[in-house]
A and B are shown apart, each in its own frame.
Chain A
Amino acid sequence: MADSNDPVRPAHRILASAAVLALSFSIVGAAPAAEPIKIGVIGEESAVAGASITKAAQMAQDDINAHGGVLGRQVEVVIYDDHSSAADAVRAFQRAVSEDKVSAVVASYISEVALAIEPWAARLHTPWITPGAASTDISKAVHDNYATNKYTFHGWLTSAFIAQSICDFEHDMLVTSSFKVKSTVVMSEDAAWTKPLDERFLDCLPKAGVKVLDHIRFNPDTTDFTPIFNKIEGEKPDVITTGISHVGVQPTVQWHDQRVPIGMVGQSSQATTSTFWKDTNGAAEGVITASAAAPGVALTPTTVAFTEAYQKRFGASPAYDGYTTYDEIHVIANAIKAAGGTDPDKIVDAMEKTHYTGTVGTIEFYGKDDLYTHAIKYGQGLVTGVVLQWQSGKQVTVWPRDKANGKIAFPATITSPK
């Protein structure tokens, strides 16, 4: 059978390949049900925000195990990279549940990914939580179809509440202060997470005393922001209210280089990471963004210690979803403890009763009758996030007032707010 023209080879080759495939899969899946309690963590290693998820999860695992684990067993965090792709994330989720036998999953900061995982959590009866996505659809789906989607938890503020926190900030710090801000232009990327964000902005900003002069949505693939800034400048608002996540470095740098004289305030996810200063070569000076927490601010007794430990171990401060991931691994561990085991339905019941003070605040979830079932509750004494401003390379927290460690100060090139 040495003749290379022998036509029998295809049969042997195909058969052999199929056998090898099947064999390799069974070897991969052959590990017996192990002792540790496994929690799957799906992050995006190439994205600064996504990488925080897996790092914070590892820290949480080590902390929990140092304190004796859960129900006498060690916690093991199993890490996956979804390459910022929903399809990839779904496969990772399937693998986590079927092959690696995890009891719960913490996944992603991207709304598209979270929404793709939601039906699979329902099909596979696996509790999971997203530490960073924002779309209101995630929790609305739980409300609308509780029996099926109850396994989904939304571990960060929904877009509606992010917008509300920014409205509250603008009211407290820009309208009723010496800045006397009266008008704004809303500038956000055209993405699904910003639809509920902008809706809320348009509703709560006027109530906060800020008139919305215009509402600009741009393509998330935009690289040249000059026309947008020129247009905004032409309308002469007192401040720009942003809703950006997919972009961040580029608009900020261009805003700085073009000396746009109007300050930027709002949600700029990339600006919450400590590497943002370097990525923009300092153009971030004066940018204000909402975030989960910030370095040096004791939102709770454990916030500062966590931030410093993370910084020491990984060389950068956590992105906003690093804080939430760290807390939510603990939430899951506590739920497993309360449930007395890893039964998914019992874990879900236990998670619903969560009242946990982590690093971002006190975490509780909305219930069956609330609009955003299983989303984190927003409010004083619970989770509000913070608003921070970049000043000379540091993130200074400027809101809420009782947590602020600095005052708002815009660079000289900004003529409004002043």
Chain B
Amino acid sequence: MTTLQILVDGFAISSLYALAAVGFTLIFGVSGVLNLAHGGIMLVAALVGWWVAGETPLGTYGGTLVGILAGLLTAYLTYFLVVRPIQRSKAIAQEEKEIFVLTGTLLWGIMIQTGMAYVFSDNPVTMRPLIPGVIAVMGVRTPINEVMIAVLCWVIIGLLWLLINRTPAGKQMLAASINPRGLTLLGFELSQIYFRVWTIYGVLAGVAGVLLASFLGVGTANAGQLTASAFSIVVLGGLGSVSGSLIAAYVVGYLETLTAYLIAPTLRPIPALILLVLVVYLRPQGLLGRR
């Protein structure tokens, strides 16, 4: 019984981790940005979604949509207000741009977190499940919502895969992640490609935020943890590799679930951290990374 429980629980949480991590790695892979405001974007989506669902007649479904839009908007703000100005700045040396983007997004993330805490207080909020009730999955009593979240995550990831590998826009993004210079020489507008990536990222982060709120609940205090978690998973899988992030998300998700069930709930984050340290020392490019 415990084994089945571990399988089912681990799957749901891993799928959610995967969705959050995939967006993070996409942004790094294509535009070289480690967005430390990642958790903040998810937070905004979750809080706005909760508020709209509760305070306006739009209800849970409307709230979810508005939440995702809010996430997208925050992603755009992050790109246009913080990331792009730094990337284009003439006053910063090329090799230092990465550090500045890091620090800039970090500060922006703090502003989001404190701003949201001011408006919403730091109490975690949850979104009502889109479909309430429980069903038995392999004999394990599971909220339908949890199953739906896992399914939704995979649908979105599948769509993303199609987008990147089968559409011309996606292929341009792929090319930009490998050789941006080459792409410019061929006449493609990098800024357009970046805009598209940030749009996709915004939607991914927005969906992840809203689903997280519905499954586990989100509060302003979680924002930093969310970023750190996505960061770790992405490094484990290989910075820039979407499939790597997917695999790593499941590794981390199951490691945590196993620890919580079999060892002790207090030690939940430890094995993943240790694994991360080992990977960074022994195989720094991660499981499937190439950069």
A sample of 16 inter-chain contacts (CB < 8 A) reads: A51-B121, A216-B265, A217-B265, A221-B225, A222-B265, A224-B256, A224-B257, A227-B6, A227-B257, A228-B260, A249-B124, A254-B216, A257-B145, A258-B141, A259-B141, A280-B126
Are B124 and A250 in contact, CB atoms less than 8 angstroms apart?
yes
Cα(A220)–Cα(B121), bound, Å: 18
Across the A-B interface, give the 10 residue pairs with the lowest CB-CB distance, nearest first: A218-B265, A227-B260, A250-B217, A46-B117, A249-B124, A253-B126, A46-B122, A257-B143, A227-B261, A281-B128
A interface footprint on B266-283 (CB within 8 Å = 1, 0 otherwise): 111100000000000000
Assuming the contacts A48-B121, A258-B134, A279-B126, asked whether A219 and B266 have C-beta atoms less than 8 A apart, the reply is yes
**Complex contacts, A221 vs chain B, CB 8 Å:** 225, 269
Docked CA distance A224–B14 (Å): 11
Chain B 115-156 near chain A by CB (<8 Å), digits 1 or 0: 001100111111111001010000001110110000000000
Please pick, from B117, B143, B216, B266, the residue contacting A223 in the complex, using a CB distance under 8 A: B216
- By the criterion CB–CB under 8 Å, are A222 and B121 in contact? no
- Distance from A202 Cβ to chain B, minimum over Cβ atoms (Å): 17
Task: Check if B217 sits within 8 Å of A253, measured CB to CB.
Answer: yes
Pair A47/B265 contact, Cβ less than 8 Å: no
CB of A283 within 8 A of CB of B126, answer yes
- The answer to whether A190 has its CB under 8 Å from any CB of chain B is yes
A48 lies within 8 A of B126 (CB): no
- Minimum CB–CB distance from A313 to chain B (whole Å) comes to 18
Complex-state Cα separation, A270 to B2, whole angstroms:
31
The residue of chain B having its C-beta at the shortest distance from the C-beta of A280 within the complex is B126
Asked if A98 is at the interface (CB within 8 A of a chain B CB), the reply is no
Asked if A9 is at the interface (CB within 8 A of a chain B CB), the reply is no
Are A270 and B126 touching (Cβ within 8 A)? no
Chain B interface residue bracket vs A? 35 or more
Is A85 interfacial (CB-CB < 8 Å)?
no
Q: Say yes or no: is B13 at the interface (Cβ < 8 Å to chain A).
A: yes
Interface residues of B in 232-279 (CB under 8 A from A): 256-257, 260-261, 265-269
**A259 x B134 contact (CB < 8 A):** yes
Q: A227-B9, A257-B143, A259-B134 are in contact. Are A250 and B216 (CB under 8 A)?
A: yes
CB distance from B165 to the nearest CB of A (A): 32
The answer to whether A249 touches B126 (Cβ under 8 A) is yes
B-side contacts of A283, CB under 8 Å: 126
| CB nearest neighbor in A for B54 | A278
B209 adjacent to chain A (CB < 8 Å): no
Q: Which residues of B contact A51 (CB under 8 A)?
A: 121
**Which residues of chain A have C-beta atoms less than 8 A from B5's C-beta?**
227, 230
- Whether B67 is near chain A, meaning CB under 8 Å from some CB there, is no
CB distance from B174 to the nearest CB of A (A): 33
Known: A223-B216, A257-B134. 15 other contacts (CB 8 A): A46-B117, A47-B121, A218-B268, A219-B266, A219-B268, A221-B225, A224-B257, A226-B9, A227-B257, A227-B265, A230-B261, A231-B261, A254-B216, A257-B145, A259-B141
Distance A253 CA – B269 CA, assembled complex (angstroms): 22
Given contacts A258-B134, A259-B134, A275-B123, contact A223 B260 (CB under 8 A): no
Could you tell me the distance between the alpha carbons of A51 and B15 in the complex, rounded to whole angstroms? 36
The answer to the question of A84 belonging to the interface, with a C-beta cut-off of 8 Å to chain B, is yes
A172 to B31, CA, bound (A): 64
Q: How far is the CA of A231 from the CA of B225 in the complex (A)?
A: 25
Which of B13, B127, B225, B266 lies in contact with A190, CB distance below 8 A? B266
Contacts of A222 in B (CB 8 A): 265, 268
Q: Identify the interface centre among A227, A231, A279: most chain B CB within 10 Å of its CB.
A: A227
Kindly provide the distance from the CB of B149 to the nearest chain A CB, expressed in whole angstroms: 11
A112 to chain B, nearest CB (A): 14
CB distance from A226 to the nearest CB of B (A): 5
Residue B219 CB within 8 A of the other chain:
yes
- Residues 290 to 347 of chain A near chain B (Cβ within 8 Å): none
Q: Say whether, besides A216-B265, A257-B129, A223 and B217 are in contact (CB < 8 Å).
A: yes
Give B1-15 as 1s and 0s: 1 = Cβ < 8 Å from A's Cβ atoms.
110011001000100
A414 to B6, CA, bound (A): 24
Contact B217 A249 (CB under 8 A): yes
Specify which chain A residues have a CB less than 8 angstroms from the CB of B127 in the assembled complex: 281
Residues of chain A with a CB closer than 8 A to B257's CB: 224, 227
Q: Cβ of A224 and Cβ of B13 under 8 Å apart?
A: yes
**Min CB–CB distance B256 → chain A (angstroms):** 8
A254 to B218, CA, bound (A): 12
Within 8 Å CB of B265, what residues of A?
A: 216-219, 222, 227-228
Q: Please name the residue on chain A nearest to B126 by beta carbon.
A: A253
- CB contacts (< 8 Å) of B142 on chain A: these are 258
Closest to B253 in A: A224
Min C-beta distance of B50 to chain A, whole Å: 8
Residue on B with the closest CB to A273? B123
Assess whether B35 is interfacial by the CB under 8 Å rule: no
**Shortest distance from the beta carbon of B230 to any chain A beta carbon, whole Å:** 14
CA distance A224 to B269 in the complex (A): 12
Binary CB contact string for chain A from 191 to 216 against chain B (1 if under 8 A, 0 otherwise): 00000000000000000000000001
B123 proximity list for chain A (CB < 8 A): 47-48, 249, 270, 273, 275, 279
Expressed in whole angstroms, the minimum distance between the Cβ of B266 and any Cβ of chain A is: 5
A223 to B2: give the CA distance in the assembly, Å. Answer: 20
The minimal Cβ–Cβ distance linking B253 to chain A, given in whole angstroms, is 9
With both chains docked as a complex, state the minimum distance between the C-beta of A71 and any C-beta of chain B, in angstroms: 37
A residues 224-238 near B (Cβ < 8 Å) are 224, 226-228, 230-231, 234
| Docked complex Cα distance between A218 and B263 (Å) | 11
Q: How far is the CA of A190 from the CA of B264 in the complex (A)?
A: 12
Give every chain A residue within 8 A of B2 (Cβ-Cβ): 230, 234
- Provide the bound-state CA to CA distance between A375 and B211, in Å: 44
Whole-angstrom distance between the Cβ of B123 and the nearest chain A Cβ: 5
Contacting residues, chain B, for A250 (C-beta < 8 A): 124, 126, 216-217
- B222 in contact (CB, < 8 A): yes
Give the docked Cα–Cα distance between A47 and B221 (Å).
Answer: 10
Complex alpha-carbon distance, A283 and B266, angstroms: 25
Contact flag A224-B266 (CB < 8 Å), given A47-B122, A257-B143, A283-B126: no
Instruction: Give the shortest distance, in Å, between B203 (CB) and chain A (any CB).
Output: 23
A150 to chain B, nearest CB (A): 34
Query: Which of A249, A253, A273, A278: most chain B CB closer than 10 A?
Result: A253
